[in-house]
Amino acid sequence: MFTGLVECLGRVEEVATEGAGRRLTIAWPGVSSPFALGESIAVNGCCLTVVASDGDRFEVQAGPETLLRTNLGAKAPGDSVNLERSLRVGDRMGGHFVQGHVDTTATLVERRPEGEWEFLSFALDAEWLPLLVPKGSIAVDGVSLTLVDVTSSGFSVMLIPHTLSVTTLGGLKPSGTVNIEADMLAKHVRKLMSVG
């Protein structure tokens, strides 16, 4: 379980193909404590397991399903990724409940400055739109954000200067792809309403 509050802007160091999957080596500059084998880390919002580590670097594996549903298949050495370690009992809950189970991807169609803030609009497959509500929560590349508006073709968010400076969203360009996790409460409600 995660909060969607990015702890570090990491960097992909190496990518290796493993059958139908990929192994990524990722650097976490200034990491405060060693990585434990088997621990969960959200990489661009995708919960992955540490399979090896050395200092400020760790390795994760992404299987075919992960590569199908996320933007991790397109990552190359040098690319930045949002990183967050899983919650510990007693941690503050500053964002919203994020499982790290990416549902789909969205594409940036517009961004414009509004003072020090930035307005970003994304296109999203219509299948996921019923799970989004204005002022509700969404995880975009693992970043917990508040939805500004939801339309028939996508959604929009506003980013504060801090978010722009410490996450991958600051450098995202139109046509760029991001990982999306809809609010898990909305997914459970939809499932319960469809039973019967």
pLDDT in tens, 75-105: 999 999 999 999 877 777 777 889 999 999 9
Q: What is the enclosing helix (H) or strand (E) of 30?
A: none
- Res 196: pLDDT: 60
Over pLDDT 70: what percentage of the chain? Answer: 99
How far apart CA 5 and CA 8 sit, in angstroms, is: 9
| CA-CA-CA-CA dihedral for 178, 183, 187, 192, to nearest 10 | -170
From residue 188, give the alpha-carbon distance in Å to each of 54, 140, 157, 166, 169. 39, 19, 23, 31, 28
Amino acid at 107: T
Structural domains of the chain, ranges and CATH numbers in brackets: 8-85 (2.40.30.20), 104-188 (2.40.30.20)
How far apart CA 16 and CA 6 sit, in angstroms, is: 25
How far apart CA 88 and CA 80 sit, in angstroms, is: 25
How far apart CA 159 and CA 139 sit, in angstroms, is: 13
For 105-124, write each residue's pLDDT tens digit: 999 999 999 999 999 999 99
- Res 100: pLDDT: 95
pLDDT higher than 90, residue 191: no
How far apart CA 82 and CA 149 sit, in angstroms, is: 24
Mean pLDDT, to the nearest integer, of 160-165? 96
Averaged pLDDT of the chain: 94
| pTM summary value | 0.94
